[in-house]
Amino acid sequence: MNTFMLALHSLLRWGILILLVVSIIKSFSAWQNKKVFTKGDRKLWLFTLIFAHTNLLVGLYLLLFGRFGIISTGLPEGVKLMKDRFFRFYWVEHPTGLILAIILITLGYGMSKKTVNDEIKFKKAFYFFLIALIFILATVPWPFREIVGRPWVPTM
Ligand code: HEM
């Protein structure tokens, strides 16, 4: 179960990144070219939201019941959470950075429901999605990160 959830979590990252980058490029271009907000735009933002929220649930599962879960294993004897780079990353920095990113994605999607003109819709969504992307890039355990780094794709 844990192996499956971890692989799913790792793979969903790529889905989120692709959808988010497309949402950013399309919102920027639609904002600049004063395009009309379409059903296709709403669908794209909705899929980005669904992928992000699914990974939030999988992430919460891993944080509580995973290999180094708060409930499943707890902190090893003698480890101080904020002094240990590994646990501080996986229990604090990674969840906080990514929950903030998911809140921003939710706010971006929320623009599709706002009764404002389409230019403002695209502009605000563009900024929400862009900041979300920065948070994701900064807090994912990329393979080149020391101590916390993980593979580009799941290893089964
Ligand atoms: C957009 C959202 C997220 C992305 C893109 C993301 C990405 C990742 C990646 C790539 C890994 C490494 C997977 C591997 O070892 O192959 C990981 C691990 C982990 N993530 Fe996330 N994450 C997200 C959200 C969250 C959230 C919201 C939480 C907690 C509330 C969370 C908790 C964890 C935990 C605990 C691990 C380590 C699990 C283990 O090694 O057993 N993640 N995440």
Domain assignment present for 32:
yes
Percent with pLDDT over 90 in the chain: 97
- Ligand 1, residue 102: give the atom nearest the CA: 1
Distance CA(119)–CA(101), nearest Å, equals 23
Residue 156, in any domain of the structure = no
Over range 68-82, report the average pLDDT: 96
In the chain, the number of structural domains is: 1
Give the nearest ligand 1 atom to 7 CA: 16
Distances (CA, A) of 137 to 121, 132, 141: 24, 9, 9
Q: Note the pLDDT of residue 14.
A: 98
pLDDT digits over 125-142, tens only?
Answer: 999 999 999 999 999 999
Is pLDDT above 70 for 156? no
User: Is residue 99 in a domain?
Assistant: yes
What does the mean pLDDT of the chain come to? 97
> What is the spatial distance between Cα 133 and Cα 97, in angstroms, rounded to a whole number?
11
Which is the closest atom of ligand 1 to the Cα of 56?
Answer: 27
Q: What is the predicted pLDDT for the residue at 155?
A: 81
The whole-number pLDDT of residue 124 equals 98
Confidence check: pLDDT of 119 > 70: yes
pLDDT at residue 10 above 70?
yes
Does 155 reside within a domain? no
Residue 145 lies in a domain: no
Token readout for 116 is: 């404002």
Mean pLDDT of 11-40: 98
For residue 128, count other CB atoms closer than 10 A to its CB.
24
110 and 52 in contact (C-beta within 8 Å)? no
pLDDT number for residue 97: 98
Q: Please compute the mean of the pLDDT values over residues 111-120 and round it to a whole number.
A: 96
What is the residue-wise DSSP string for the chain? -HHHHHHHHHHHHHHHHHHHHHHHHHHHHHHHTTPPP-HHHHHHHHHHHHHHHHHHHHHHHHHHHSTT-TTTT-SPTT--GGG-HHHIIIIIIHHHHHHHHHHHHHHHHHGGGS-S-HHHHHHHHHHHHHHHHHHHHHHS--TTSTTT---SS---
Domain that holds residue 109: 2-139
Residue-level pLDDT at 1: 86
Name which residue sits closest to atom 40 of ligand 1, judged by CA. Answer: 67
Probe residue for ligand 1, chosen from 3, 6, 9, 129 as the CB with the greatest number of ligand atoms within 8 Å: 9
Answer whether residue 107 is part of any domain.
yes
**44 occurs within a structural domain:** yes
Report pTM.
0.95
- pLDDT over 70 at 57, yes or no: yes
